[in-house]
Chains A and B, each alone.
Chain A
Amino acid sequence: MSTPPGGRRARTPREELAEGTPHGDVYLGRLIRAQLRLSLLGLCAFGGLVGSLPLVFLLFPSLQDLEPLGVPLPVLVLVVPLFPLIVVIGLLYQRRADALDEAFRDVVSHE
Chain B
Amino acid sequence: MIAAMAVVAVAAGAIGLGVWGVRLARTTSDLYVASRAITPWWNAAAISGEYLSAASFLGVAGLGMKLGASVLWLPLGFAAGYLALLFFVAAPLRRFGSYTIPDFAEARLGSPRVRLVAAAVVLTIGGFYLVPQLKGAGLTIGSVAGTPYWVGVVAVAALVALTVALGGMRGVTYVQAYQYWVKTFGIALPACLLLIYLGGLPERAALFGQELPRAPAGGLVAKLDSAQQVEFPEAARFTLDGRAQRAAAGSERTLEGRLVLPAGTVVPVSEGTDAERGEDWARPVERTGTASPVFVYSLLLATFLGTMGLPHILVRFYTNPDGPAARRTTVRVLGLLGLFYLFPAVYAALGRVLTPQLYVEGQTDAVVLELPEAAWPGLGGELLGALVAAGAFAAFTSTSSGLLVSIAGTLSHDVRRGRGAPAGEQPVERMRRFRWAAVAGMIVPALIALSARGLDISVLVGWAFALAASTFCPLFLLGIWWRGLTARGAVAGMAAGGLVASIGIVATLVADPDPTVLGALLAQPAVLSVPVAFLTMVGVSVADPERPRSTEETMLALHGPEGLGLEALRVRG
B539 within 8 A of A: no
Q: Cβ of A14 and Cβ of B200 under 8 Å apart?
A: no
How many A-B pairs with Cβ below 8 Å? 147
Question: What is the chain A residue whose CB lies nearest that of B299?
Answer: A54
Within the complex, which residue of A20, A39, A91, A109 is in contact with B556, where a contact is CB–CB below 8 Å?
A20
Q: Cβ of A90 and Cβ of B331 under 8 Å apart?
A: yes
Say whether, besides A54-B296, A72-B208, A87-B335, A28 and B555 are in contact (CB < 8 Å). yes
Q: How far, in angstroms, from A31 to B561 measured CA to CA in the complex? A: 10
Instruction: Enumerate A11-25 residues with CB–CB distance to B below 8 Å.
Output: 14-15, 17-20, 24-25
B565 within 8 A of A: yes
Q: With a 10 A CB-CB cut-off, give which of A39, A55, A67 has the most chain B CB atoms.
A: A39
Within the complex, which residue of A35, A36, A64, A86 is in contact with B83, where a contact is CB–CB below 8 Å?
A86
Contact with A along B217-230 (1 / 0, CB 8 A): 00000000000000
B80 within 8 A of A: yes
Within the complex, which residue of B84, B342, B556 is in contact with A79, where a contact is CB–CB below 8 Å?
B342
A94 to chain B, nearest CB (A): 5
B110 within 8 A of A: no
A33 to chain B, nearest CB (A): 9
Within the complex, which residue of A36, A72, A79, A105 is in contact with B564, where a contact is CB–CB below 8 Å?
A105
Within the complex, which residue of A71, A82, A93 is in contact with B87, where a contact is CB–CB below 8 Å?
A93
Q: How far, in angstroms, from A11 to B530 measured CA to CA in the complex? A: 44
Q: How far, in angstroms, from A24 to B564 measured CA to CA in the complex? A: 13
Q: How far, in angstroms, from A86 to B324 measured CA to CA in the complex? A: 19
Instruction: Enumerate B193-244 residues with CB–CB distance to A below 8 Å.
Output: 200-201, 204, 208
Instruction: Enumerate A59-73 residues with CB–CB distance to B below 8 Å.
Output: 64, 67, 70-72
Q: Cβ of A39 and Cβ of B284 under 8 Å apart?
A: no
Question: Chain B interface residue count: which class?
Answer: 35 or more
Q: Cβ of B323 and Cβ of A101 under 8 Å apart?
A: yes
| A32 surroundings in chain B (CB, below 8 A) | 481, 555, 559
**How many of A's residues come within 8 Å of B, CB to CB?**
51
| B87 surroundings in chain A (CB, below 8 A) | 39, 42-43, 93
B267 within 8 A of A: no
Say whether, besides A14-B569, A75-B69, A94-B327, A84 and B86 are in contact (CB < 8 Å). no
| B349 surroundings in chain A (CB, below 8 A) | 75
Within the complex, which residue of B73, B327, B563 is in contact with A78, where a contact is CB–CB below 8 Å?
B73
Within the complex, which residue of B283, B338, B559 is in contact with A64, where a contact is CB–CB below 8 Å?
B283
B356 to chain A, nearest CB (A): 19
Q: How far, in angstroms, from A42 to B82 measured CA to CA in the complex? A: 13
B142 within 8 A of A: no
Chain A residues with a Cβ under 8 A of chain B: 14-15, 17-20, 24-25, 28, 31-32, 35-36, 39, 42-43, 46, 50-51, 54-55, 57-58, 64, 67, 70-72, 74-75, 78-80, 82-84, 86-87, 89-91, 93-94, 97-98, 101-102, 104-105, 108-109
Chain B residues with a Cβ under 8 A of chain A: 69, 72-73, 76, 79-80, 82-84, 86-88, 91, 200-201, 204, 208, 282-285, 287, 293, 296-297, 300, 323-324, 327-328, 330-331, 334-335, 337-339, 341-342, 345, 349, 481, 552-553, 555-556, 559-566, 569-570, 573
